[in-house]
Structure 1
Amino acid sequence: MSKTPEERILYSAIVDRPPLKFDGETKLVVWPIVNLEVWEIQRAMARQVLPAPTGVSVQPDIPNWSWHEYGMRVGYWRLKALFDRMNITPTLSINANVCERYEQAAASARDAGWEFMGHSYVQMPTHALENEEENMVRSLDVCEKFTGKRPVGWLGPGLTETYASPDLMTKHGIKYTGDFVFDDEPCVLSTDNGPLVTLPYTVELNDIPMMIVQHHESSYFKTRIIDQFDRLYAESGERVKFLSFAIHPYISGVPHRIRYLEEAVEYMAGKPGVEFWTGEQIYDWFAAKSNLK
């Protein structure tokens, strides 16, 4: 029988752990994650910006499908321009079907050296899949064929998992996941096939909870990122600090929001000792520090 998360990792208070330290002058690492997804018109949409007039979800859901489609047609390219200009390489959390359905977008990220992190085949909850393992293998295979490199990271759609997910991840070569947002630092889960590292992904600096669930005004995305950054930067003399932020093209790539993302990234990049890493870079650093490989 699969284990619960509590059976995979013991509680650990950060104040009781020996502090991890970066090498050299690095004080804080920023982990930017861009999410690219496929919303199938035949299904209920993953999110809604415009509820149906009767309050009952309808299919086909043209306005909400179109809202997401704008992100793939327009919003993504604004995000891409930002990271190109800043010489930053993000992690791309990608539904593998993006490589087939939106090939130009996926190819631009691949050719820019972005890390591809597995994010299922299309956007639907993990526990709703007919065969989770088959879906995971298909997703990894498609990404590997498209990029020439098999992903080492995985993020469940909406951070969804089954109790078996960690075992399936390590069975199929996944080294890290962002699904467990329970710490400021990388941690290790036990699985049937060896350790699985949890990286400090975020629901706090994520444009879905902040903009779509909590309905903050556009400028608040910048405010919250900088508030969190300033606190972590001030604490960085004690131990390693990571700041992740997660964005979606149909939310952060729209004209009235992109300015605040740009200003937040520029602010962080302007501070001494700040570096931008991919998830794989964080994993490699932590694995070396923890003798995982």
Structure 2
Amino acid sequence: MNEGAPDPGLYDHHPYRGRPTIEWPGGKSVAVWVVPNLEYYEIDPPIHPKRKPWPHPAPSVVNFAHRDHSNRVSHWRMAEVMSKHGFPGSVSLSVALCQHHPEVVADANERGWEFFSHGIYNTRYSYDMTEAQERAIIEDSIATVEDATGQRIRGWLAPALTHTPRTLDLIAEYGLDYTCDLYHDDQVQEVEVAKGKLASIPYSLEVNDHYGFFVYNMSGREYADTLVRQYERLATEGKKSGTVMCIPLHAYLIGQPHRIGPFEEALEHIAKDGRAWIARAGEIVDAWREQVA
């Protein structure tokens, strides 16, 4: 019998049925948080042997400019729709954006959005980093975001979803208390770390607009309908124990003129339904931690 690799032990196994009851404020059944990925992609990044940053040779003017639409136009289009319907952002931030486009970061901060780190650049990968290099990125993230916004980051989403075996232990050691890098559950869960405490807040690949448009080839209407279906199911199941719905966004995708209308309709549906606790990531983690500590 081939036993395969051992379980990495990132978290305990808790079957969905029979868990302790989680209650959200106001008797809401599902906590909904929206994650604008405010990112900076380098036009000619250093090449990593394990992954190419662009599908064709760099410098990639086309890919750089496509994504830069976020920082020129579509961030504001997306943000205004979110604010209109009462959705604060929990920002997955390429920390270098604080220097490259401080106006975008300032706008998000003025709207009362929360920030967490998505690495320095989304074109710099964590694979094969030394511990010293990884520590430097975490320390840079904490200091840069605090200087730009006055906020001390609490969360982490690895740059381009790339990790080392020590990433989760290190962010917990530095006092961060939630990660978005585990996609294993629809409720907040505890993560096993060497020091401190770390929660896994449900992020999503399934309803991430990047996957919706680039992987599943959805139209704007199909993506919006998917968000509504995701919400309806989680709101129903959350009556027994509070669930979490994450809406991960990239403005250069969702903020295009032909997509923003259906997306706004989905937000309006959720906001008017009455079962959603519309919150920031830190608020969700705090409410959960008060019940499980």
Same fold (TM over 0.5): yes
Q: How does 1:75-114 map to 2 (within 5 A)?
A: 75-114=74-113
Partners of 2:53 and 2:218 in 1: CA distance: 16
Q: Secondary structure at the match of 1:127?
A: coil
Aligned residue for 1:54?
A: none
Contact 2:129–2:164 under 8 Å retained in 1: no
Deviation per residue, 1:151-170 (Å, 9 max, x gap): 00111123222110011101
Contact 1:47–1:64 under 8 Å retained in 2: no
Distance 1:122 1:189, change over 3 A: same
Aligned residue for 1:125?
A: 125
Contact 2:183–2:202 under 8 Å retained in 1: yes
Shift of 1:16: 3.1
Aligned residue for 2:39?
A: 37
Shift of 1:19: 2.2
Q: Secondary structure at the match of 1:146?
A: helix
Matched, 1:290 2:292: yes
Of the candidates 192, 195, 198, which is equivalent to residue 197 of structure 2? 195
Q: Secondary structure at the match of 1:192?
A: coil
Q: How does 1:76-225 map to 2 (within 5 A)?
A: 76-123=75-122, 124-127=124-127, 129=129, 131-225=133-227
Stretch of structure 1 that moved more, 171-180 or 214-223:
214-223
User: 4+ runs of 1 displaced by more than 3 Å?
Assistant: 44-48
Contact 2:154–2:175 under 8 Å retained in 1: yes
Deviation per residue, 1:79-112 (Å, 9 max, x gap): 1111221232110110111111011010011111
TM-score, normalised with respect to structure 1 = 0.91
Alignment: residue pair count: 281
Q: Secondary structure at the match of 1:24?
A: helix
Q: Which amino acid aligns with 2:38?
A: L
Shift of 1:46: 7.8
Deviation per residue, 1:137-182 (Å, 9 max, x gap): 1112100111112100111123222110011101111100010010
Deviation per residue, 1:27-68 (Å, 9 max, x gap): 2211110001111111279876xx5xxxxx222111111100
Partners of 2:220 and 2:172 in 1: CA distance: 38
Q: Percent identity?
A: 26
Distance 1:17 1:159, change over 3 A: same
Q: Which amino acid aligns with 2:125?
A: P
Contact 2:24–2:277 under 8 Å retained in 1: no
Shift of 1:25: 2.7
Partners of 1:20 and 1:65 in 2: CA distance: 43
Q: Secondary structure at the match of 2:40?
A: coil
Q: Which amino acid aligns with 1:252?
A: I
Aligned residue for 2:73?
A: 74
Q: Which amino acid aligns with 1:39?
A: Y
> Which residues of structure 1 form unaligned runs of 5+?
52-56
Partners of 1:253 and 1:7 in 2: CA distance: 39
Aligned residue for 2:251?
A: 249
Shift of 1:12: 1.5
Partners of 1:148 and 1:71 in 2: CA distance: 23
Contact 2:25–2:277 under 8 Å retained in 1: no
Matched, 1:61 2:63: no
Q: Secondary structure at the match of 1:188?
A: strand
